[in-house]
Structures are given as structure tokens and as C-alpha cells.
Chains A and B, each alone.
Chain A
Amino acid sequence: MQMNKRMMLVSVAAVMVAGPALAQKKYDAGASDTEIKVGNIMPYSGPASAYGTIGRAEAAYFRMINEQGGINGRKITFISYDDAYSPPKTVEQARKLVEGDEVLLIYQSLGTAPNSAIQKYMNVKKVPQLFVATGATKWGDPKNFPWTMGFQPNYQSEGRIYAKYILQHHAAGKIAVLFQNDDYGKDVLKGLKDGLGSKTGMIIAEMPYETGDPTVDSQVVALKASGADIFVNIATPKFAAQAIKKVGELGWKPVHLLNNVSSSIGSVIKPAGLENARGIISTAYQKDPSDPGLKGDPGLKNWTAFMDKYFPEGNKADTGNVTAYITAKALVQVLKQCGDNLTRENVMRQAANLKDFEIDMLLDGIKVNTSPTNYFPLQELQMRRFNGEVWELFGPIMSGEIGS
């Protein structure tokens, strides 16, 4: 180790002296003239196995990239392991990837608890933990964890966007909040409160629920009794559907804001009743393949072609396959930007140097942006309203940038 550090210092010094001679190839473990090893950890089995399709779609995407000649002539070797959403297994698999397979980086490991379990290890080992598949806000902390980066719009950004919308359109309203009592629910709620700023007093009622609760009916009844006319529904699919149904049954007609994780028509809106859901407002950042308004969209065409050829067994109604396509494109961009300097340090430098990068399955106008101090690649969402049949996008792209 001692020797290595000294050699690194010498080589860094040499590079600095040499200046323009940067063009020579540089590699860390996991990269060579012919390949780039990318590690990944997914819950292919266990309680969260529905997300496993993300890993499969990513593998399919890299297969396509390799068939098209790879990245700067290098093929991607995508090594994906199953952790069954169990943090101890995640640690084992991450160590297997880093110490056994010697991957250049780990990308899109899924879940808040699994990623929390390996965050320290990855940062001590200085191996990129890139574009983790969770919306928690804690992944954008370059000061303390410079080797970890999130991807999707984080929960706090989303909360801020609802606050913005409320302040713009219903500034005199009274807000009632239903939220899941865990890190995710509290994260969205914190964003909402931060976004309201000095107007936090608009929230006149908030009711938590536990994931173990059988229903949220009593919470909804209490929230209605508070006299609020804006209802912010921060719940996971099952509970969100219950809340929408109950609001309908009670004859309550608030402005209903529904968080993004529960905006699936198939698993939330339909079970809750299309009529009950009419007029609900939510947010989106990626294109929804089931949206009839997207017919003829070039991005959707590319995605469909990719799915047909490389992942025909995948379910096209599953938005996880869209997420996979988007993040895989982002990773390919980072690796392209790395050029012949495929060191872990340069991977993070390039990941933190994405400027207005567009991906064809992101909603038009939403772009990927990062910087050495901004580890939140996506922070923009667009509002959409349910018209009784489908979601209709409206209004401008909204940013929920932390600190904005």
C-alpha cells in the first residue's frame, strides 16, 4: 500500500509536470483496452424482486451497446448480482464485485437500506457507487461521500415542487398531509415544508401511517375533518389507492396532490376507481409508454425498438424498464466522457460533469445536470393531471433544486 501511494503521488506529479501529455491511456482495476467491468446489485429474488427487471433491462442495453461496437472500442462487461434486498447480502455482493471481480465501478445498486449498507465501504475503497436506484436525498452528499451519487429526482425535490405549485395556485389554501412514517415519507414532507418556507403554517393537519397498518381510512377521515382544502398524498401504491378511494367515498373535494411513486395507473388509479381519481395532480420525469399522447414520439420509438430487439421478454408497461434505459444511457455518456482515462477518480469527475445531457425517454425539457457540488443528476419534474383516463402533462418543467 505504502509503495502504491508513493507511486501514485509520483505519477500524479508527473502528469502535472507533463501537462498536455494527458492523452495517454490510464486504467484502474476493471478497465483495459478491450473492456470496462461494471458491477451491479439487484433484488432478483425476495420481497422487492419486482424491481429485478431494471437489472435485466440494463444488461440488455449494454448488450446492445457492445453489439454496436462498445464505448471508445471497449466492451462493457456487466456483472449483476442478487442481494434479495437484504443489506448483509448487499455487503457481500459489493465486496465480491470490488475485490473478486475487480469492477471499475458499481452502478444502480437498488434500495435505500442496501445502499446505506455499502456506502461507507465504497467510499473507503474509493470505488464509484454511481446512480444508485433510490430516491432518498442522502445520496447527494459529495462533501462526506464523494464516491456515491444518486440519479432520479430525490424525494425532497419532489416535495419542494408540490410546495411551489401550491404557492403559485392555491396560496390561500389549507393543507392536509398523509405520509408514510419512514425515511421516504419524511423526506418528501421535509421537501414540502422547506418549499413552503415561511408559509409552513398552511399545513393544518398531518397524519402519519405505518407500513404495517391495514388501512389509512381513519387518517383520511381525520384529515378531512381538519377542514383542509388541499390534500397531499405521500403514500406508497397500496395506501395511496386506499386514500384516493376514501377521499372519494367521503365526498371530499380537495386539490389532491399525489406523489410520483404512486402515480401508476395500473397499480393505484384503477384499483382506487377512475372516477375517484379524476383531477388528481402528480408529477413525472420520464415518459410513460402507456401514455397515448406519446404516439409517434421518437424517444418512445427508440425505446420500443430496443425493447423489441434486446429485451422482448420484458414488460413494456413496467416503468422500471424505462428507468433502466435512462440510467444506462447516462452511464454510457459518463464512460464516453472518460475517454482513455478510465480511472475511478475520472469516472466520478465525469459523472459530476454532465451538462444539459438529454435522454430521449426523459420528458422533453428535462435534462441531466451535475457538478462537483451537485450530486443530484435529475431535479426537474413536470406536473400532470389525471383526466379520468390518462395523465395529461401541464405547465412548465419545474425544478426542486435543493437550495433554490
Chain B
Amino acid sequence: MLQRSTETREVPVATIAGVAMPAWRLIMLGAGLVVLAAIPFVLKNFYIFQITLAIIYAIAILGLNLLTGFNGQFSLGHSAFYAIGAYTAAIMMENLGISYVWTIPVAAIVCFVFGFLFGLPALRLEGIYLALATFALAIAIPQVLKSSVLEHWTGGVQGIVIIKPDAPFGLPLSSDQWLYVFSVLVAIVMYVCATNLVASRTGRAMIAIRDHPVAASAMGINVSLYKSLTFGVSALYTGVAGALGAIAISFVAPDSFTFVLAVALFVGLVVGGVASIPGTLVGGLFVLFVPNIAESVSKGLAGAVYGVILLVVIYLMPTGAAGLVRLGISKLVKRR
């Protein structure tokens, strides 16, 4: 599953309908940006809020994808980093009175450090054993947040209520519209960074470790350092998403960050496509909207309907949405 690379260099002169592939990419990117820019002015506040959440989940899934898709390490514990990011934002805003804008970089740093440190001992673990260790983290975090030692800061079971920020500079936007714009801006920065990271020397090292750690090591790559750093960067992304999520929801509580969230992120990763950066957006949309669709089909059997949808999706797109698109492109492409 992990042997697929995003690199498409082997088809540099491919065209669809007479237009070269790089141009197609730019056209799609441009169209995507136009849609993103239009959303806050077309949809009702509630739908803007939902799409904001989907984008936030997409960022979290992107973090998981850097780890799993590009570096071959498994995690079932990313809800923990999401929670740490969310609580960082909540505590900074409500207890310390700091503007929400600053919570994003701070959450990023805090989660990077947590992820890096957790990555160090986890290095000794491979594949499913690492998944189990991170799973323990996901199980532990809600309990830790409830503990009486931290209660003064975390608000215990009651959680923390956050005041939703308004648009700055007197912009004529509702707080939902502004949060959407803010989240999209953060997301663009995160996606550009991720794209560059994966295409860089570091990114190639990450992928090399995924594909063949021994060979990577023989090439002079410091495997353990890169693995820990990837864990840190992955946690950073998920933590930033957590902070944005806390601001958008305006509330954090231990019950928000259970193991179910970790599984949801994992599902989003697989549905979107492992080792695909644009696929994470599909993953985000899936995580947010498919449970709602399942519920509208049958209230009593929402869980079962969700399972059936998931099975159908995986059956029809065994390599995720990104794989389906790649397949479509390869059928359309004319090689010269």
C-alpha cells in the first residue's frame, strides 16, 4: 500500500485534451482557489462553519499523512496531538488572555516538541507495534486532561469555553466567515509547506526510509533522526488543526478527543489516499460529512450505514480518492 510515490515525473510530456499536465495542475489549483474564495459569500453561515471544520480535519489528516504516507510510520494516536493543540489554544485564550492568532504558532511548537519526544522512544517500534504505542497515547489523553493535577488549567471534565473571535480591522465579515478565511489562510500555508517538504531533499529522505530503511541508512540518511523529526512535524500539523478546531468550536473538553477521533483521522487518511497531499482534503470532507449522511439514511443504524459506506468506498477506490483520480488521469492521458 505504501509503495506508491506521488512523483509523476515519468510522464513529463503527457497531455489531456491537448493541454499539458503541469498546465492542468495549475488550472485545477486555480479553480480550487476560486471555489474556496467564493464559499463564504455564497453559503449560509452554518455551511461555512461545516466547511471550516472539514478544512481543519484535512490539515490534521495531512499531518498524519506525512507520517504514514511519506514516512511509513503508523499512528492511531493523533487525537492526542489534536487535543494538545486544542488545549494549548484554549488555555492561552481563556486563562492567559492571548489573541487567538498567536495560539497557532505556539500550538505548532508545543506539538512539535511533544511529537518529537514521543517519536524518540517510539523509534524502537515498527509498524503495528508503533500503532499500539500511539493507541495508548490516544486512550490516555482524555484521562490526563481530566486529572485533578491539571484541572486548574484544563477545567477538568467541564472543559473550557472559548469566546469566538470577530473579524479584525472592522472587516464586514461574520465570525463564521472570518474563521473560514483564517482557517483557509492557515491551511494554504500548511499545504504549501507540506508540498515543498515532500519535494525536498528531506522529503526524499523520508520516502526513502519508508521504502527501504536499510538502503536509506546505507545512503547516509540518519534514519532515527528523520523518523523522530517526521513524527514531530506530523504532530505539529495535527496540533495546528487542533488549535483551529478549538477556536471554531469555541469549546474544548476531554470528551472531544477520544480514540474515536484518532480513528476518524485514520479513516480520512485512507479514504483520501495514502501519500497524497490533495487527497487529505477529500479525507477531511469525508470525516465531517459522511457520518451526517449515514444518520440521514437511518438514525438507529447510523453506525452500520457508515460502515457500509466506508466498505463501498474502499471497494470502489482501494487506493483512496487520490488513487481514483490518478487512475482516471492515466486513462485520459495521451502520451506523445
Give residues in A with beta carbon < 8 Å to B: 44-47, 56, 80-82, 84-89, 91-92, 95-96, 99-100, 111-114, 116-117, 119-121, 181-183, 210-212
Contact = CB atoms under 8 A, between A and B. Distances in A.
Please give me the 10 A-B residue pairs with the lowest Cβ-Cβ distance, nearest first.
A99-B46, A117-B251, A113-B253, A113-B255, A182-B157, A87-B256, A45-B303, A88-B249, A183-B157, A95-B46
A111 B159 CA distance: 13
A86 B260 contact: yes
B1 to A, nearest CB: 28
Interface in B264-308: 291, 295, 299-300, 302-303
B245 interface: yes
Contact of A120 (B147, B161, B256, B291): B161
A117 B159 contact: yes
8 contacts: A44-B295, A82-B302, A86-B256, A87-B255, A95-B46, A95-B49, A116-B251, A120-B250
A80 B46 CA distance: 17
B99 interface: no
Given A87-B249, A210-B146, 15 more contacts: A84-B260, A85-B255, A86-B260, A91-B249, A92-B49, A96-B46, A100-B46, A112-B158, A113-B159, A113-B253, A116-B251, A117-B159, A121-B250, A182-B156, A211-B143
A227 B237 CA distance: 55
A182 B146 contact: yes
Q: Which one of A84, A86, A88, A211 has the highest number of Cβ atoms from chain B below 10 Å of its Cβ? A: A88
A360 B49 CA distance: 43
Interface in B31-52: 44-46, 49-50
B143 A212 contact: yes
B219 to A, nearest CB: 43
- Size category of the B interface is 20 to 34
Nearest to A111: B255
Interface of B: 44-46, 49-50, 53, 143, 146-148, 156-159, 161, 245, 249-256, 258, 260-261, 291, 295, 299-300, 302-303
A321 to B, nearest CB: 15
A212 B253 CA distance: 17
Given A82-B295, A86-B260, A183 B255 contact: no
B9 to A, nearest CB: 40
B256 A210 contact: no
A92 B50 contact: yes
B259 to A, nearest CB: 10
Contacts of A46: 260
B161 A116 contact: yes
A237 B23 CA distance: 64
A46 B260 CA distance: 8
A89 B306 CA distance: 16
B257 to A, nearest CB: 9
Contact of B159 (A87, A210, A211): A87
Nearest to A42: B299
A284 to B, nearest CB: 26
Contacts of A212: 143
A188 to B, nearest CB: 14
Nearest to B161: A120
B158 A44 contact: no
User: Could you say which of B45, B46, B252, B261 has the most chain A C-beta atoms within 10 Å of its C-beta?
Assistant: B46
Contacts of B147: 210
A112 B157 contact: yes
Contacts of B44: 99-100
A117 B46 contact: no
Contacts of A183: 156-158
Contacts of B45: 99
B255 A44 contact: no
B253 A116 contact: yes
A12 B52 CA distance: 38
A299 B8 CA distance: 72
A318 to B, nearest CB: 15
A44 B249 contact: no
Nearest to B56: A88
B299 A44 contact: yes
Contacts of B258: 47, 86
Contacts of B46: 95-96, 99-100
Contacts of A85: 255
B57 to A, nearest CB: 10
B249 A117 contact: yes
B255 A86 contact: yes
A93 to B, nearest CB: 9
Contact of B157 (A80, A88, A113, A121): A113
Contacts of B255: 85-87, 111, 113-114
Contacts of B249: 87-88, 91, 117
A80 B299 contact: yes
B49 to A, nearest CB: 6
A394 to B, nearest CB: 34
Which residue among B45, B159, B249 has the maximum number of chain A CB atoms within 10 Å of its CB?
Answer: B249
Contacts of A91: 249-251
Nearest to A138: B158
Nearest to A181: B148
Contacts of A116: 158-159, 161, 251, 253
B78 to A, nearest CB: 15
Contact of B245 (A88, A95, A121): A88
A158 B49 CA distance: 40
Contacts of A119: 161
B256 A44 contact: no
Nearest to B259: A47
Nearest to A88: B249
Contacts of A87: 159, 249, 251-253, 255-256
B146 A81 contact: no
Nearest to A95: B46
A307 B146 CA distance: 39
A212 B254 CA distance: 14
A88 B56 CA distance: 12
A205 to B, nearest CB: 18
B309 to A, nearest CB: 14
A117 B49 CA distance: 15
A99 B254 CA distance: 27
A99 B302 CA distance: 23
Contacts of A210: 143, 146-147
A164 B147 CA distance: 31
- Of listed A47, A116, A183, residue having the most chain B CB within 10 A: A116
Contacts of B156: 182-183
A324 B44 CA distance: 33
